[in-house]
A and B are shown apart, each in its own frame.
Chain A
Amino acid sequence: MNTLLALLKKETMEFNRTYKLLILFAVFLILAILSPLAAKFMPDIMAQFLPKEIAESFPTPSALDSWAQFFKNFSQIGLFVIALLFAGMIIHERNEGTLIILLTKGLHRSSVVLAKSLFAMLIWTIMYWISFSVTYFYTWYYWRDEHVPFLAVAVSHLWLFGLLLIAVILFGNVLFKSIYANLLWTALFVGIWFVVSIFPKTDNFNLLKLATNGDQILQGLYSVRDYKWIYIMAIGSILFIQFITIQIFNKKSIN
């Protein structure tokens, strides 16, 4: 437990002093502020460049548009930034040899994986929910009278997908020695689920729905019950991937 805390402190110091924390916070904050702003003002901006008849056909922006923009921003740019920041978490330490001294001090390899995973998931959780709060405030500010149903469910889905993606990225960290290979691996994981989603029969099991169906949940097209198997699969996958990540890392020779 003490070791885990020591490593978490070390990770926090690293993220802080190498400005990764600042970059992540800035990007997430911009995305969070932009989501309601884009929804509110994009029709006006577009109207400046388009013929009047087309501009007048735009629907009046609503709180739903703001949240649709939020899901689009965070499921694409947000998760991409997360992948970029965490793709080299263990790879970098293996390549630089910074773990050697700590391992010879009695550090368990499993603690390394657990601390890195826990830290990445915590950072994602904190940053994501701060961003959600910012978007929530601006959306409330611009559309005070509008109630958005099932918001907590839809937002939690993307958060859960983020946790799953982090587990996949950490797994790639012990599989590969190159950050690019890990990014490719992460892209492949997402790509496979895109291919799977072509088949309607997989609808109840498609993990990608956690990241892509946020606005449809808000519109009431899906309910929590539709996601029962996806929740089980997502949580099961996170735990299983963590387990095999530790098993593989335990067998890797450290040079």
Chain B
Amino acid sequence: MSILTLEHLTKSFGAHQVIDDISYTLEEGRIFGLIGQNGSGKTTLMKLILGLLPSTKGKIFILDEEVSYGYTATNRHIGYLPDVPSYYPYMTAYEYLMLCGEITGMPKNVRKERVEHYLHLVGLAKNKKRIQQFSRGMKQRLGIAQALINQPKLLICDEPTSALDPIGRKEILDILQSIKHETTVILSTHILHDAEQICDEIALLHNGKFVITGNLSEIMTKHSKHQIQVTFHTENQACTFLEKLPFNEQIVHKSNSLIIEAKDLTHTQQQLFSLCNALNLYPSSIEVVQPSLDEIFLEVSR
């Protein structure tokens, strides 16, 4: 069943069109990576889904129920973690989650149970400090707990890892990975490594449009170029080999390595081995390399 449907969604701020006629359907049980540069409109798109901003044109549906601007009932299905979550600094994490639970209308006993469960999940169960004393990582973990407190069908996370150190990032990604079976996750990020690690499906937002969408492995296959990396023991060997290369493919020379773009992988491999024999140069390694999501992203964004 589709959890989110965008139909010709458009959003402009004055003459500046941030979202340009996007249509998309997201199925339940996925981790969906919304990827784009800073300022590409990811946060705007999320706020449109949450009914915090009015759309210029088009419709949004959550579980077939239309989102409306202002107060939208569809938010009962959604948990939201803003990019910079703002809390009441004078409260403790427990008090804040109790307030969130009360606003969603949970009975007190259920509220207490859930608050304790989610504080435990995000590793803040024993923390009695006020939020003003929290680190960024702790605030993000609290953000995930508050977003999950109403057990939403859709969790929207706006760049949850962008301001965190590697340990904090891993903690957040692990939590998101662990809840995948209960909640569909939309993860907005410009850290492509994060998306590569946990997303099943991605959309690349560029110039207001989804320029790439779909399953991550399919995207990698579709947009990948065959590249062979040949590494020599010394830089001189790499230079000698480079001079004698018989083809015009794009070659990147990095110290004692050459990265060669191959139109026909098998044929290029044969040529490389022959040349090695002919020159009596034996590389330390020859490997086929996959382009990263970063490279695909840069390629498409150009």
Contact = CB atoms under 8 A, between A and B. Distances in A.
Nearest to A249: B70
Interface centre among B50, B80, B88 (most CB of A within 10 A): B88
Given A106-B75, A253-B54, A2 B105 contact: yes
- SS class of chain B's interface: helix, strand, loop or mixed? loop
B86 interface: yes
What's the dominant secondary structure at chain A's contact region?
helix
Interface stretch (B95-103, B184-192, B254-262, B287-295): B95-103
A109 interface: yes
Given A106-B76, A253-B54, A6 B99 contact: yes
Interface in B114-171: 143, 146, 150
A18 to B, nearest CB: 6
A96 B84 CA distance: 10
B91 interface: yes
Contacts of B58: none
A104 B99 contact: no
A108 B54 contact: no
B92 to A, nearest CB: 11
B80 A17 contact: no
Contacts of A18: 90
Contacts of A17: 90
B53 A253 contact: yes
B90 A13 contact: yes
A109 B85 CA distance: 19
For chain B, the bracket of interface size reads 20 to 34
A254 B52 contact: yes
Contact of A251 (B70, B82, B87, B102): B70
A109 B70 contact: yes
B78 interface: yes
A146 interface: no
Given A2-B102, A13-B90, A106-B105, A101 B70 contact: no
Nearest to A5: B102
Contacts of A100: 52, 80, 82, 86
B52 A101 contact: no
B251 to A, nearest CB: 48
B71 interface: yes
A250 interface: yes
Contacts of A104: 50, 52, 75, 78-80
Contacts of B221: none
A95 B147 CA distance: 21
Contacts of A97: 82, 84, 86
Task: Indicate the member of B53, B86, B87, B91 with the most A CB atoms within 10 Å.
Answer: B86
Contact of B104 (A9, A96, A106): A106
A2 B95 CA distance: 16
B74 to A, nearest CB: 10
B90 A108 contact: no
Contacts of A250: 70-71
Given A97-B82, A106-B104, A14 B75 contact: no
A251 to B, nearest CB: 7
Nearest to A3: B103
B184 to A, nearest CB: 16
Q: Which of A3, A9, A105, A255 has the most CB of B within 10 A?
A: A105
A214 B190 CA distance: 64
A103 interface: yes
Contacts of A105: 75, 100, 103-104, 150
A36 to B, nearest CB: 36
Contact of A14 (B50, B84, B88, B103): B88
B103 A6 contact: yes
A72 B141 CA distance: 52
Given A14-B88, A100-B52, 16 more contacts: A3-B103, A6-B99, A18-B90, A98-B88, A100-B86, A102-B99, A104-B75, A105-B75, A105-B103, A105-B150, A106-B75, A106-B104, A109-B70, A251-B70, A254-B52, A255-B47
5 residue pairs, one from A and one from B, having the closest CB atoms: A17-B90, A6-B102, A97-B86, A104-B80, A98-B86
25 contacts: A3-B102, A6-B99, A6-B102, A9-B99, A10-B99, A13-B91, A14-B88, A17-B90, A97-B84, A98-B87, A102-B99, A104-B50, A104-B78, A104-B79, A104-B80, A106-B103, A106-B105, A109-B71, A250-B71, A251-B70, A253-B52, A253-B53, A253-B54, A254-B52, A255-B52
